Amino acid sequence: MLAAVLRPLSSLFGAAVALRRVLYRRGILHSVRLSVPVVVVGNITVGGSGKTPLVAALARALAQRGHRPGIVSRGYGRASDGDAPIPVGVDDDPDRVGDEPLLLARTGFPVVVARDRVAAGRELLARHPECDVILADDGLQHYRLARDVEVAVVDTTRAPGRPWLLPAGPLREPPSRLDEVDAVVALVPAGAALPANLPGAFAMTLAGEVFVRVGDPRVTAPVSRFAGAGVHALAGIGHPERFFAQLSAMGIAAAPHPFPDHHRFVADDLAIAGARAIVMTEKDAVKCKAFADERCWYLPVEARVDDALVTLIEGSLHGSQAA
């Protein structure tokens, strides 16, 4: 009922999105090109779709091929979303820099956050002039930053829902936007086939096999430790059910506790009576580290994608440098 009431607003939103695209295409609104190629990894829906793990995987893959990547992000969930670019360190406060940029900083590549990705890119290159390619985590709709490659991620593990634009539905841009990007990456469960409605997409899975103690990352535990009763799972990500389903596929029957995306966890969130173990995503763990006890563990995951995607991106980068 509410979605139907909001449909007229979706039409207005769609008109505004289309107009903005036209203004950038005709040069009335100006995109800014940085001195190195830019790869934008984003999506057309609100909520998580696996963008951040994919950015980390692409950075590692490009580095293995001799590139020197840097990463920029808006840093959603920050306590202060000001314009000043902020370099991200591995020990930074997630309230200051955002949870996802903190995970990306753990890859060892330079990371800068700012609401304006152009400013973030300039700051990154000023601090790290050795970088020869910038990966933008999210920002498919941030047209001020000129890009050489667009990668759109689609989470096929989510129910499709109504294909309506905001605010009646989950879409930031119409589905036809996927026809314009350089590559579509479909997040699928391990062993699942690509859906028929995404021909030509690259499959991506999220793999994790060992749990890490939130308060002491030197301590790890196998999946078998979490078999049986008394296990609870927390997830403050865009699609908590994806994490719960992953645990179930691993044989872990955890009681689910979903939270909103970028939820700022507090100690009371972990006060679960009778919990033998509390498992969570790494994104949530960075916000729980200060008050987590020995029951708390997180599951690091890595994105696994077809190497052909990296080859496609690298070819586009070489083409942009030649131009």
Cα separation of 242 and 27, whole Å? 40
For position 47, which CATH number holds?
Answer: 3.40.50.300
Same domain, 135 and 261: no
pLDDT at 322 over 60: no
- Give domain status of residue 244, yes or no: yes
- Residues 161 and 127 reside in one and the same domain: yes
* Residue 15 belongs to a domain: no
CA distance 64 to 83: 33
Cα angle: 186, vertex 104, 77; to 5 degrees? 90
Q: Residue 10 domain-assigned? A: no
Q: Which residue has the tokens 């989950």?
A: 170
Please tell me the predicted confidence (pLDDT) of residue 211. Answer: 98
Helix (H) or strand (E) segment spanning residue 206:
strand 202-207
- The confidence score (pLDDT) of residue 160 equals 66
16 in a structural domain: no
Cis upstream peptide for 167 (omega within 30°)? yes
Give the model confidence (pLDDT) of 235-259 as tens digits.
999 899 999 999 999 999 999 999 9
Among left, alpha and beta (phi > 0; psi -120 to 50; other), residue 77 is: left
Please, what is the average pLDDT of the chain?
93
pLDDT average, residue stretch 165-181: 93
With a cut of 90, say whether residue 6 has pLDDT above it: no
DSSP per position, 79-139: S---SS-EE--TT--HHHH-HHHHHHHTTTS-EEE-SSHHHHHHHHHHH-TT--EEEEES-
Same-domain status, 112 and 54:
yes
pLDDT reading at 47 higher than 90: no
- Do 247 and 221 reside in the same domain of the chain? yes
- Please tell me the least confidently modeled range out of 142-151, 157-166, 183-192, 213-222: 157-166
Contact at 8 Å (CB) between 81 and 90? no
Confidence class for position 89, pLDDT limits 50, 70, 90: very high
91-106 average pLDDT score: 94
User: How many Cβ atoms from other residues are within 10 Å of residue 319's Cβ?
Assistant: 12
Same domain, 181 and 248: no
Q: Between vectors from CA 307 to CA 303 and to CA 311, what angle results, nearest 5°?
A: 125
DSSP 101-115: HHHHHTTTS-EEE-S
The yes-or-no verdict on residue 19 having pLDDT over 80 is: yes
* pLDDT at position 315 over 70: yes
Confidence of residue 83 (pLDDT cuts 50, 70, 90): confident
Q: Tell me, what's the pLDDT at 120?
A: 97
Rounded CA-CA distance 273/27 in Å is: 59
107 and 233 fall within a common domain: no
Q: Rounded mean pLDDT of 298-316?
A: 96
Select from 239, 251, 230 the least CA-distant residue to 160. Answer: 239
Instruction: Measure the CA–CA gap between 239 and 47, rounded to whole angstroms.
Output: 7
CA within 13 Å, CB half, 58: 31
Report the share of the chain in percent with pLDDT over 90: 84
Confidence of residue 321 (pLDDT cuts 50, 70, 90): low
3-state secondary structure of 243: helix
- Domain assignment present for 25: no
In a domain, residue 99? The reply is: yes
Based on the fold, state whether residues 110 and 221 are members of the same structural domain: no
**181 and 227 fall within a common domain:** no
200 and 83 in a common domain: yes
Q: Is the pLDDT of residue 81 over 80?
A: no
pLDDT tier, 142 (very low <50, low <70, confident <90, very high otherwise): very high
Stretch 92-112: mean pLDDT: 95
178 shares a domain with 35:
yes
Assess whether 146 and 267 both reside in one domain: no
Residue 178 sits in the same domain as residue 315: yes
pLDDT single digits (tens) 272-299: 999 999 999 999 999 999 999 999 999 9
At residue 318, the pLDDT reads: 77
Closest CA to 310 of 204, 219, 169: 204
Q: Is residue 98 part of a domain?
A: yes
Q: How many structural domains compose the chain?
A: 2
* Token pair in block for residue 287: 């916000």
**152 found inside a domain:** yes
Question: Domain residues for 71?
Answer: 30-205+304-322
Contact 92, 100 (CB under 8 A): no
Distance CA 298, CA 54 (A): 19
